[in-house]
Chain A
Amino acid sequence: MPKDEYDPEDPLEWVGVEVPVESDENLHEMALTFAEEFLRGGFSEDELLAMFKNPFYVGPHLVWRKKNEAYVRAVIEEAKGMWMPMRTMSGGEEE
């Protein structure tokens, strides 16, 4: 077999490993963490969605692929609801 073809029997081959405790709850928390961190860092909703769609960002993209775009949009909305509520007090009262 050519050296750069994937061989599942090769003990030195690069493999992905499944963890038995994986759950929807963990997946949701991971997605929400990414959304919250990047929203707080200044990303827009569109930039955030693009990150989840981009296969180079393996963590966020895993969520998009395992679920769907509607799920990711809902997560982003949840993060926005917490960290970017309607800014009725923007420029408001002094402390």
Chain B
Amino acid sequence: MNQQVYNWQIGRKMSYPHAEAHPEWQFAFCFNLNRCIGCQTCTMACKSTWTFSKGQEQMWWNNVETKPYGGYPQFWDVKVLQLLEEANPGAQKWARKGEEFTFEGKTIFEAAEKRVGLEPERVLGYLPTDEEWRFPNIYEDTAVSRKGKPMTFDPEGTKLPEHKTRFFYLARICNHCTYPGCLAACPRNAIYKRHEDGIVLIDQERCRGYRKCVAACPYKKVMYRPTTHISEKCIACYPRIEGNDPATKGMPIQTRCMTACIGQIRLQGLVRINKDGSWAEDRYNPLYYLIRVAKVALPLYPQFGTEPNGYYIPPRWVPRGYLRQMFGPGLDEALEKYRVPDRELLAVLQLYQRTKEIIVRYEIKEGKKVYETVIHGKPFTLYNDTIVGYNKEGKEIVRTQVEEPFYVRPDKHQNSI
């Protein structure tokens, strides 16, 4: 029997197979897609840390896919959207009341309730085929070496049928959802959400590899391992989140994929959660600010209903209709805000990848006016503010400025860590 739970991303209560139970802190992240260059450094950082063993060859807990046609597994999002449309034809819509939006369609949990019969499901989903998992490069924008010269770059670039489309790179990991589809679907209760940080894990002792979670996760971030016959997923580098890395002396540190990002598109942290599941007011937590105050970062496919804790600053140049379906109705306001950032937003954006440690609070110290200008038709004043980030203990861990000095690393330090 399903329960009623509140999902703030869709602005209403919804049906879910378990009662509400919320963590003290929630793992969350915010990716700026305007900066991603699709280098796959995050993908390899994850792969070389967690999924390098036999049976994990096709397992990419972190992947970066070239939208609109790329996907891992192939067409995962289009397939889930199609299933929902078939379950609720023409009614997967958002309604606006003042500043608030409500999703009036059906989530993957609600759509599944309509499916009765011999094989009822708790969550609407599908099991990708082996082929859909096995060819992650199809439709992707990926560099190759020249024929006969492995391990070299082709100085002329790729020679392929013309890739005429505009595209963008969508970096993805498990969203460690508030209402995970995988957890809801597991017949063994082998999947759990940790009280201390909201990370969603599979108990490898309890899992028997039924793959209900693989079918249920709308983001397709649970993967089956054929050598062990059980499923695995992103663990949010939990030893780092727990502060077990000696470098930080007990303080939480961001995941491998976040800290490896050379494009500085990623900011990961922890947000405080109230007992009722709402976000505790934490005005100077950078994630709280970006997601709940500035509202420039949006959840990926909020209409699925899992309340994902991964958020994205959408790419500016992509057709709006496509992005509205992907990031929900707050899109236009988010993009306008990002195109002409205000003083505080510009400062907070400087915190991206300035430190490996998790910033739980920031402080802005006002600086000098540098210039006045017009950005996309709107008056804009640049101030050289200083932004300071603090860790969980209140200790300063980063200090930077809006007008940051630019240093070129000397050649002698090339490839040094």
Contact = CB atoms under 8 A, between A and B. Distances in A.
Interface of A: 4, 6, 8, 12, 14-19, 21-22, 26-27, 29-30, 32-33, 37, 41-42, 55-59, 61-62, 66, 81-83, 85-95
B19 interface: no
B34 A55 contact: no
B203 to A, nearest CB: 37
Interface stretch (B45-53, B185-193, B363-371, B389-397): B363-371
Contact of A93 (B141, B318, B368, B375): B368
Contact of B165 (A8, A16, A92, A93): A16
A15 B141 CA distance: 9
Contacts of A32: 317
Given A16-B160, A22-B166, A33-B34, A56 B375 contact: no
Contacts of B135: 12
A32 to B, nearest CB: 8
Interface of B: 34-35, 37, 68-69, 135, 137-141, 143, 147, 153, 155-158, 160-167, 264, 315-319, 322, 366-376, 380, 383, 404, 406
Contact of A27 (B163, B166, B374, B383): B166
Nearest to A78: B376
Shortest 10 CB-CB contacts between residues of A and residues of B: A55-B157, A16-B163, A42-B406, A30-B317, A29-B317, A19-B165, A85-B373, A18-B164, A95-B366, A82-B375
A48 B375 CA distance: 19
A83 B346 CA distance: 12
Given A30-B317, A33-B317, A89-B370, A4 B147 contact: yes
Given A19-B165, A55-B156, A59-B167, A88 B383 contact: no
How would you classify the secondary structure of chain A's contact residues: helix, strand, loop or mixed?
loop
Contacts of B316: 29-30, 33
A30 B343 CA distance: 24
A33 B315 contact: yes
A83 B375 contact: yes
A17 B140 CA distance: 10
Contacts of A91: 368
A89 B34 CA distance: 29
Contacts of A86: 371
Nearest to A20: B165
Given A14-B137, A61-B157, A87-B370, A22 B37 contact: no
B417 to A, nearest CB: 22
A66 to B, nearest CB: 8
Contact of A30 (B166, B370, B376): B166
B160 A58 contact: no
A93 B406 CA distance: 23
Contacts of B68: 19
Nearest to A86: B371
A15 B160 contact: yes
Contacts of A81: 373
Contacts of B376: 82
A82 B35 CA distance: 18
Given A29-B316, A90-B371, A93-B369, A57 B162 contact: no
Contacts of B167: 59
A56 B373 contact: no
Given A16-B161, A17-B69, A59 B374 contact: no
B367 A95 contact: yes
A87 B371 contact: yes
Contacts of B35: 37
Contacts of B140: 14
Contacts of A58: 141, 157-158, 163
Nearest to A55: B157
B153 A42 contact: no
A19 B34 contact: no
A66 B165 CA distance: 11
B94 to A, nearest CB: 21
A66 B162 CA distance: 11
A89 B160 contact: no
Contact of B161 (A12, A15, A88): A15
Given A14-B137, A19-B164, A19-B166, 14 more contacts: A15-B139, A16-B162, A26-B319, A27-B317, A41-B264, A42-B404, A42-B406, A55-B155, A56-B153, A56-B157, A58-B163, A81-B373, A82-B380, A92-B370
